[in-house]
Amino acid sequence: MNNRNLLAGMTVAVLIAPSAAYADSFTMWARADDSTFMTKIVDAFNAGHADKVELQIVPTGELVQKYAVAAAGGSAPDALSLDLIYTPSFAAAGQLEDITDLAKSLPYFDALSKAHLSVGTYKDKIYGVPFSADASVLIWNKDLFAKAGLDPDKGPTNWAEIRADAEKVKTLGSDIYGFYFSGNCGGCNIFTFTPLIWASGGDIFADNGAKSTLNSPAVKDAVAFYQGMVKDGLVPEGAKTDPGANFFAAFATGKIGISPSGSFAIGALNSQYPNLHYGVTFLPGKDGNKSSFAGGDNFVVTKGTKKIELIKQFLDFAYSLPGQTLLAKNGSLPVRADIAKEALAGLDERYLIPAEAMNVGRTPYSVVFNDLINSPNGPWNTTLNNVFFSTPDAIDQGLADGQDAMQTIIDQAAQ
Amino acid sequence: MPAGRSRGLPANSPPAPGARVYRRKRRSWAGLIYVLPAVLLVLVFFVLPLCMTGWMSLHNWPLLGESRWIGLGNYIALWKDRGFWRALSFTAYYTVAATVGLLGVGMALALFVERPRPGVGFYRTAFFLPVVVGFASASLLWAWLANVDSGLFSPLMRMLGITESPYNLLATFTPAFWLVTGMVIWKMSGFYMVILMSGLQSVPTDFHEAARIDGATRTQRFLHITLPLIRKPIALALILSVTGSMLAFDQFYIILAGGPQNQTMTAVYWIFNQSFVSFRLGYGAALSVVLLAILLVLSVIQLRLLRDREDGR
């Protein structure tokens, strides 16, 4: 490069420098499970705005630990797309910024997912707003239904129908099973088993998570329903020790008639198993009705960040119709009920079922969710694993012990 | 004073007391500088983390949020922690099973490959190969082999007529426990084979020849000549196996997730759960200090037993 070119380059650099200096950015972390839609939405925002989001994808299982270490060292990101069930414990630990004013200033605040907002609220202040969503649903194999003489276009609508359909599918062969669930996975069962209880009028917690109600009639009924199917051989042997590895994969083999699953399965089945014909319906209660676990992420902001205005810009974009459409196309349900149908237009029609399920979706509230529910060694998972695969007379004692164990952890955390 | 001395000190005569002290001091400083990198490494990577663990154990130290001094509160709490003591008792049970298996199989393999003969290189390599596989990889491999729906063990058992229907090895305690212990023996016995083989090869052949002439049987020679002479390699293998087994975690976490019904929860697994599932780092640190103390006592006992025998007492 000769001197004249160098001088010209320096002049250009000086001329464009002021505009670059005005651009600002904020840092955001997201878990690897969300990498597809998080990357897309951040790229779209960065392409259309002078201000930028610096996204870092963190391995899902390490996000909490990494965030804690970064927070202790003063290098936490400005914002975080956080598995919504962690919002109460993060807020209780004083890590998050109160964003009540920001949330309530959004004109579509009332249309945002209520379940997300309920776990995003701690002591009447909002610390997390909905960002991505995943609802639980029931899926059935249409080909196996047809072979078993069932109507392939009609999914079961109550427990008796699930059982009857599963029995018919089981008659198709020794390696074909009527029903599948991951029997050693707390996270899978809070997502797909609790809705059966909710839709039957029961719950596993009372008093906003302060009381465990595991030993209650609706829970007993639901456990007896699963246990009966296990005892009668409608569920494969491997379900007992499945820690979630086959939560999706078992149904994808094409040898399972019915399985509770999540909205994520629609995209995954369509892209990875295009020849598998399946239907999607609501998770029903004992006598009908419907419910769902409202999963996904809350958007939270680290306490003390100076980038709140910039963060609001990004949220506005994510909540806009193009933002919600982009999320829907890449694996997340819309979190704004008022534009959900528009955002899902043109996509697989089966997405409308989980989108509607989100409206009745619930998320349990607990500051010790990880200890109680997610941990493979926690009381939720060990209790269910015990009662699902034992005998009917063991249910009462098993659930009573489980309730005591859960209550002990809740009480310890409250001290 | 001899005449020679009055004309000056010879080159090799001892220096004056002051100079000697000075030189000794300089030498000790030089020595200190030489070992300083090693000392620093030990301080930074061993002593400091240990002190930090001790310090944390005296606090209510959550993963998120502020820590608070609680003195011996965590240590008092752990006395009442039935889960920890249950995990510790399971760990001791596993340690005995794994150590007997590892040393037994390791010794059998060592005797098999001790002497040079055709093909012995192949056997030594084959037996040692699993050692170079990481614990996590080996655990994942065995978790798959034991999977009742997609693995190999269940169909194999049916083919051999051991079971009539698919058998889930991971569903009940006894098969699950022996599956994991079997995996550890498969993976690690090659390592103990090498330690014990080096001991066997150091036993002078004259002793065996003399005993053979005196009419000693093969078993007598092994019990009365070989075993006493390889006490040191056996002690090394014993300490390594006991320490490693008391710290077992990966295999139980990956293959069984502590199941069925938390019956295969090891002490380290319990500490991991307290620290990174319940986010109680201070309590996890207190449990670690107690486990360290237990390991220290176990190692001292093993070393003392060995020393006593060596001295013939």
pLDDT for B176-196, tens place per residue? 999 999 999 999 999 999 999
Q: Is the pLDDT of residue B145 over 80?
A: yes
Residue of B nearest to A246 (CA): B149
Residue of A nearest to B170 (CA): A241
Tokens standing for residue A108:
């579509």
Name every residue whose Cβ is closer than 8 Å to that of residue B117 and which is 6 or more positions away in sequence.
Answer: none
Asked if the Cβ–Cβ distance from B65 to A389 is below 8 Å, we say no
**pLDDT (0 to 100) of residue B176:** 96
B183 vs chain A: nearest CA distance in angstroms? 18
Which has the higher per-residue pLDDT, A16 or B80?
B80
**pLDDT (0 to 100) of residue A33:** 86
Q: Is the pLDDT of residue B15 over 80?
A: no
Please tell me the least confidently modeled range out of A69-73, A373-377, B279-283: A69-73
**pLDDT (0 to 100) of residue A1:** 45
A225 in a structural domain? yes
ipTM over 0.85: no
Interface size between A and B, measured as CB pairs under 8 A: 76
**pLDDT (0 to 100) of residue B16:** 64
Q: Which of B52, B56, B63 to mutate to test the interface with A (most CBs of A within 10 A)?
A: B63
Q: Is the pLDDT of residue A98 over 70?
A: yes
A277, A348: one domain: no
pLDDT tens string B106-127: 999 999 999 888 899 999 999 9
Taking the Cβ of residue A390 and every Cβ of chain B, the question of whether any pair is shorter than 8 Å is answered with: no
- The percentage of residues in chain B with a pLDDT greater than 90, rounded to a whole number, is 74
Q: Which of A373, A377, A397, A404 to mutate to test the interface with B (most CBs of B within 10 A)?
A: A377
Domain boundaries, chain B: 17-56, 74-310
Please tell me the least confidently modeled range out of A123-137, A141-155, A227-241, B30-44: B30-44
A189, A323: one domain: no
Asked if the Cβ–Cβ distance from A95 to B64 is below 8 Å, we say yes
Nearest by CB to A65, from B165, B171, B276: name it: B276
Alpha carbon distance B175, B212 (integer Å): 44
Nearest by CB to A371, from B65, B171, B277: name it: B277
- Taking CA B162 as the corner, what is the angle to CA B161 and CA B164, rounded to the nearest 5 degrees? 70
Q: Is the pLDDT of residue A19 over 50?
A: no
A173, A208: one domain: yes
Average pLDDT over residues B270-292: 94
A281, A319: one domain: no
- Give the confidence band of A415 by pLDDT, cuts at 50, 70, 90: confident
Asked if the Cβ–Cβ distance from B171 to A377 is below 8 Å, we say no
**pLDDT (0 to 100) of residue B234:** 92
Which has the higher per-residue pLDDT, A16 or A245?
A245
| B273 vs A contacts (CB less than 8 Å) | 375, 377
Taking the Cβ of residue A405 and every Cβ of chain B, the question of whether any pair is shorter than 8 Å is answered with: no
Residue of A nearest to B274 (CA): A371
Q: Which long-range contacts (CB under 8 A, 24 or more apart) does B234-239 make?
A: B234/B103, B234/B196, B234/B199, B235/B302, B235/B303, B235/B306, B236/B195, B237/B102, B237/B103, B237/B106, B237/B192, B237/B195, B237/B196, B238/B99, B238/B103, B238/B302, B239/B299, B239/B302, B239/B303
Q: Do the Cβ atoms of B238 and B252 come closer than 8 Å?
A: no
Average pLDDT, chain B: 89
Alpha carbon distance B296, A30 (integer Å): 42
Alpha carbon distance B129, A26 (integer Å): 50
A284, A201: one domain: yes
Q: Which of A347, A362, A377 is the last residue of a domain?
A: A362
With 0-12 / 13-18 / 19 or more C-beta atoms within 10 angstroms meaning exposed / middle / buried, residue A106 is middle
Asked if the Cβ–Cβ distance from B64 to A71 is below 8 Å, we say yes
A322, A176: one domain: no
A375 vs chain B: nearest CA distance in angstroms? 7
- Give the confidence band of B5 by pLDDT, cuts at 50, 70, 90: very low
Taking the Cβ of residue A240 and every Cβ of chain B, the question of whether any pair is shorter than 8 Å is answered with: yes
- Give the confidence band of B270 by pLDDT, cuts at 50, 70, 90: very high
Taking the Cβ of residue A378 and every Cβ of chain B, the question of whether any pair is shorter than 8 Å is answered with: yes
Q: Is the pLDDT of residue A362 over 60?
A: yes
Alpha carbon distance A401, A379 (integer Å): 9
| A68 vs B contacts (CB less than 8 Å) | 63-64, 279
Say how many domains are in chain A: 2
Domain with A318, as residue range(s), is 23-134+294-362
pLDDT tens string B48-60: 999 999 999 999 9
Q: Is the pLDDT of residue B9 over 70?
A: no
Asked if the Cβ–Cβ distance from B65 to A375 is below 8 Å, we say no
pLDDT tens string A46-68: 999 999 999 999 998 888 888 98
Fold of B74-310: MetI-like fold (1.10.3720)
Q: Is the pLDDT of residue A13 over 80?
A: no
- Give the confidence band of A84 by pLDDT, cuts at 50, 70, 90: very high
Asked if the Cβ–Cβ distance from B65 to A94 is below 8 Å, we say yes
According to DSSP, the β-strands at A288-301 and A128-141 are antiparallel
Taking the Cβ of residue A375 and every Cβ of chain B, the question of whether any pair is shorter than 8 Å is answered with: yes
Which has the higher per-residue pLDDT, B25 or B188?
B188
Asked if the Cβ–Cβ distance from B168 to A376 is below 8 Å, we say no
A246, A206: one domain: yes
- The percentage of residues in chain A with a pLDDT greater than 70, rounded to a whole number, is 95
Asked if the Cβ–Cβ distance from B168 to A65 is below 8 Å, we say no
Q: Is the pLDDT of residue B45 over 60?
A: yes
**pLDDT (0 to 100) of residue B164:** 87
**pLDDT (0 to 100) of residue B313:** 44
Q: Which of A69, A176, A241, A384 to mutate to test the interface with B (most CBs of B within 10 A)?
A: A241
Asked if the Cβ–Cβ distance from B63 to A64 is below 8 Å, we say yes
A298, A287: one domain: no
A319, A348: one domain: yes
**pLDDT (0 to 100) of residue B2:** 41
A37, A175: one domain: no
Q: Do the Cβ atoms of A258 and A157 come closer than 8 Å?
A: no
Residue of B nearest to A368 (CA): B278
Q: Is the pLDDT of residue A8 over 60?
A: no
Alpha carbon distance B226, B237 (integer Å): 16
Inter-CA distances, B248 with A377, B59, B183, B189, B253, Å: 17, 26, 13, 16, 9
**pLDDT (0 to 100) of residue A69:** 85
A6 in a structural domain? no
A357, A401: one domain: no
Q: Which long-range contacts (CB under 8 A, 24 or more apart) does A161-169 make?
A: A161/A284, A162/A138, A162/A258, A162/A284, A163/A225, A163/A228, A163/A229, A163/A234, A165/A140, A165/A257, A165/A258, A166/A229, A166/A234, A166/A257, A166/A258, A167/A232, A167/A234, A168/A257, A169/A141, A169/A144, A169/A145, A169/A257, A169/A258
**pLDDT (0 to 100) of residue A271:** 87
**pLDDT (0 to 100) of residue B31:** 85
Which has the higher per-residue pLDDT, B308 or B160?
B160
A2 in a structural domain? no
Asked if the Cβ–Cβ distance from A184 to B259 is below 8 Å, we say yes
A11 in a structural domain? no
**pLDDT (0 to 100) of residue B308:** 53
Q: Which CATH number goes with the domain that contains A184?
A: 3.40.190.10
Residues in chain B whose Cβ is within 8 Å of chain A: 62-66, 147-150, 165-168, 170-171, 257-262, 265, 269, 273, 276-279
A206 bridge partner residues: A211
Nearest CA to A293 out of A209, A360, A379 is that of: A360
Average pLDDT, chain A: 91
Q: What is the DSSP letter of A111?
A: G
A64, A97: one domain: yes
**pLDDT (0 to 100) of residue B29:** 84
